[in-house]
Amino acid sequence: MAETPRRLIDVLLNPSALWQLVREYFDISRLRKTTPIRDKQALSEFISTRASFVAQTSLYGYLRTRAGMRYPELFDDDPFVISINIAKWQMWLACLSDLAVYAGGLLMKNPQAKEKVVADLIKDIVNKILEETGRPEDAGDKFFESANQVRQRLALCEFQNISDNEQAFSHSPPALVEWAPIIDELKKMDEDIVINSVRFRWQKVRQDLRQALDSDEILNSLN
């Protein structure tokens, strides 16, 4: 688990590292064959990296679209960079929350699955990711509050009621609208498009997890 949070933090701190991750994620050979997810470690890595991927591509993609040719100039404006950094961590937390709920819901589709076992697994994975991430210096004053809201959501989640659709992904689309450092008038105009764009980014992630998840192996490894 040591390398995954470090890579996650590098990507969240460095936009150039994000685009390297994007290239890796869409590499043709990776698309042809998804690595099976057979244990807690692999599931944790999937959740953390894909949450980072969707958070970053959604936020920076929206900023690129709105700024156009002036996009590079955004990173020369120190106050604006502060807002971008806060937004990226808040978006990451929302993505982490959504994908963790979805993963738990998929595991519960297995006839052998028990609610408490699955809930404990997902909570443990997310808690470790949050603990190893700590409190990033550029995450803003509300990072811990939002991280605790992720934990509270998982504590109350009834994973057996989570469907294999967009149901679980209810926090990340509005999080981008809320936290993106763009004036409210424009965000209000963009809201429907922005929400749909985040939902679209989750489609490939859902497909990959659905195909790669070996719930029998994971559940057996917990016994």
Q: Is 19 exposed, middle or buried (0-12, 13-18, 19+ CB in 10 A)?
A: middle
Closest Cα to residue 14, out of 93, 90, 104, 81? 81
Q: Which residue has the higher pLDDT, 104 or 67?
A: 104
Confidence of residue 1 (pLDDT cuts 50, 70, 90): very low
d(CA 58, CA 15): 12
Percent of the chain with pLDDT strictly greater than 70: 81
Number of helices and strands (H, E) in the chain?
10, 0
How far is Cα 73 from Cα 121, in angstroms, rounded to an integer?
43
Question: How far is 88 from 92, CA to CA, in rounded Å?
Answer: 6
Range of the domain at 198: 3-26+35-221
Which of the pair, 6 or 136, is modelled with greater confidence? 136
**For the residues 42-65, what does the mean pLDDT come to?**
91
Lowest-confidence segment of 5-14, 24-33, 71-80, 124-133 by average pLDDT = 24-33
- Phi, psi torsion values for 138, nearest 5 degrees: -100, 15
How far is 187 from 181, CA to CA, in rounded Å? 9
- How many CB atoms neighbour CB 163 within 10 A? 10
d(CA 116, CA 158): 10
**Domains identified in the chain, total number:** 1
Residue 7's pLDDT band, with cuts at 50, 70 and 90, is: very low
